[in-house]
Amino acid sequence: MSPLTITARDAATGPVLEITGDVDHMTAPELRRAVGRLAPAAGQLLVLDLAGLGLCDSSGISALLAARSLAAERNADIALAAVPADILRILRIVGLDRVFALHPDASAATNSDSTAH
C-alpha cells in the first residue's frame, strides 16, 4: 500500500488537487477533507489530478463522487486528469466516465480551450 499524499495548488480555472498513493477505506476520508477545504467557488473548476494514484477502491470512488457533489453544490465543475488506465477501466464499467469530465493531464484540464474526452 502506498501512503496517500494530497497536494493543492491554484490554477487560473480553480483549485487542483494532486493525489498520489492509494485511496481506500482508510484514506478516503482524508481526500474528502482535502476537497472540503479547497472546494471551488461558483464558476470555477476543481481538478483532481490522479497521475500518481495507485489504488482506488469503492471508498475512493465514493470520495470522488462526494467531491463532484460538493462542486455541484457550489455551482462549480469538476474534472479528473491523468486517470490511470486500470482506474479508468473501472470508471467506464460503472458509467462514471460519463459523469466526470476526463482529461489526459492537469494542464489540459486547466486550459479553457481544451475539451473533455
pLDDT tens, residue by residue, 5-26: 999 999 999 999 999 999 999 9
d(CA 92, CA 28): 20
What are the strands, taking DSSP E only, across the chain? 5-11, 14-23, 45-56, 77-81, 101-103
| Local confidence band at 116 (pLDDT 50, 70, 90 cut-offs) | very low
Look at residue 2 in the predicted model and tell me its pLDDT. Answer: 85
Upper half-sphere CA count for residue 19 (Cβ side, 13 Å)? 30
Look at residue 109 in the predicted model and tell me its pLDDT. Answer: 96
Look at residue 112 in the predicted model and tell me its pLDDT. Answer: 61
Assign a CATH topology to domain 5-110.
Transcription Regulator spoIIAA (3.30.750)
Q: DSSP readout, 53-71? A: EEEE-HHHHHHHHHHHHHH
Residue matched to cell numbers 479528473 = 80
Beta bridge partners of 47: 16, 79
Domain ranges of the chain: 5-110
Q: What is the mean pLDDT of residues 18-40?
A: 95
Of residues 113 and 72, the one with the higher pLDDT is 72
pTM (2 d.p.): 0.93
